[in-house]
């Protein structure tokens, strides 16, 4: 049986499996960076009100900016020989995965915060400013912890003349553990929390007469739906890849490997979609946070 060719030799830089994700990522960069910067400016102008929901939305925009700023180098890795050294290779994907994980965790915390603040406002008030700061620090610490495997498995591929920054797992057990960790902690658990929080929140708010609570809840719900739509395909293939570690099916392996960059690109699309959800709710922000008028 002929040995498997490395990915770089199977699919040269002009191949659709490299071109398609590069185009999607470039589109995300061009659209998402200005959009998230606009969100940062709008939200910062209203932070004096001490609204933790707005602080989480600011944190989400900063997470998305971190992801989008990493994408030009990811595109470079897809289209050129990686000649920027192993340190930058590891750091790039640590920051990329850290930003993606922080974005997912921020969306999860946003849903939990809305649930508690609307249904049990006294309980959330007891948390106080220090408690809210501790939640944000824990969020970023957990995101960095989940992204740490990038430092261990990312390295420069030297299997062919076309070098790239790619994953190299020391064993099948490590590969399966990383894939399962990403899917369980980065998708399944957040989805369960998001679904439960939003279900009870929507039931309560739909009966309420406070338009402001309804508008913010609809915005949070839109962010959750976009998260699920952009991330579900990637984690489905994550699970297929984890199963295939045990099955060792070459055809399934090739399908997952070819689709991987495209699915990563689709997940990063979530980072440029969120600002447009804010834009649809911009009139609501202006009604909820009217600017002072001069006398």
Higher pLDDT, 65 or 15: 65
In angstroms, what CA-CA distances link 69 with 279, 282, 291?
A: 21, 25, 32
Tell me the CA distances in angstroms from 99 to 16, 79, 107, 256, 268, one per residue in order: 27, 23, 12, 23, 10
Angle at which helix 250-280 crosses helix 16-44, to 10 degrees, equals 30
**Banded pLDDT at 49 (limits 50, 70, 90):** low
Distance between CA atoms of 19 and 12, rounded to whole angstroms? 10
Cα Rg of the chain, angstroms: 21
> Which range scores top for mean pLDDT: 3-7, 17-21, 243-247?
17-21
Lowest mean pLDDT of 25-34, 38-47, 99-108, 129-138, name the range.
Answer: 38-47
Give strand ranges (E) for the chain: 154-157, 164-167
Q: What are the tens digits of pLDDT across the range 264-290?
A: 888 888 888 877 776 655 545 444 444
User: What confidence score (pLDDT) does residue 217 get?
Assistant: 63
Q: Do 147 and 94 touch, CB atoms closer than 8 A?
A: yes
Report pLDDT for 98.
Answer: 93
Question: Is residue 1 predicted with pLDDT exceeding 70?
Answer: no
Higher pLDDT, 234 or 161: 234
pLDDT tens for 180-219 read: 888 888 888 988 888 888 777 777 665 554 555 566 666 6
pLDDT in the model for residue 176: 84
Name the CATH superfamily, with its identifier, for domain 12-288. Rhodopsin 7-helix transmembrane proteins (1.20.1070.10)
Q: What are the domain boundaries of the chain?
A: 12-288
> What burial class does residue 294 get, using C-beta atoms within 10 Å of its C-beta: 0-12 exposed, 13-18 middle, 19+ buried?
exposed
pLDDT of residue 12: 53
pLDDT at 10 over 50: no
Task: For 120-169, write each residue's pLDDT tens digit.
Answer: 888 888 888 888 889 999 999 999 988 888 888 888 876 656 788 888 88
């Amino acid at each position: 049986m002929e040995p498997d060719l490395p990915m770089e030799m199977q699919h040269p830089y002009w191949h659709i499996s490299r071109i398609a994700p590069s185009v999607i990522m470039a589109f995300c960069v061009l659209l998402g960076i200005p959009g998230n910067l606009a969100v940062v400016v709008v939200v910062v102008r209203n932070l004096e009100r001490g609204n933790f929901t707005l602080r989480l939305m600011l944190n989400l925009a900063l997470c998305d900016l971190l992801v989008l700023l990493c994408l030009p180098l990811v595109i470079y890795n897809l289209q050129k020989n990686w000649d920027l050294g192993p340190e930058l290779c590891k750091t790039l994907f640590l920051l990329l995965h850290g930003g993606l994980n922080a974005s997912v965790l921020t969306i999860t915390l946003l849903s939990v915060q809305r649930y508690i603040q609307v249904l049990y406002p006294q309980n959330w008030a007891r948390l106080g400013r220090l408690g809210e700061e501790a939640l944000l620090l824990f969020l970023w610490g957990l995101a960095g912890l989940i992204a740490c495997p990038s430092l261990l498995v990312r390295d420069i591929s030297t299997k062919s003349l076309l070098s790239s920054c790619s994953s190299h797992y020391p064993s099948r057990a490590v590969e399966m553990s990383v894939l399962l960790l990403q899917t369980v902690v980065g998708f399944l658990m957040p989805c369960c929390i998001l679904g439960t929080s939003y279900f009870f929140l929507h039931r309560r708010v739909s009966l309420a007469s406070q338009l402001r609570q309804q508008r913010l809840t609809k915005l949070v719900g839109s962010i959750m739906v976009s998260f699920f739509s952009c991330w579900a395909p990637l984690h489905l293939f994550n699970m297929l890849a984890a199963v295939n570690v045990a099955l060792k099916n070459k055809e399934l392996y090739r399908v997952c490997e070819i689709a991987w960059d495209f699915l990563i690109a689709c997940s990063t699309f979530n980072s440029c979609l969120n600002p447009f959800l804010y834009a649809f709710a911009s009139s609501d922000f202006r009604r909820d946070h009217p600017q002072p008028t001069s006398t």
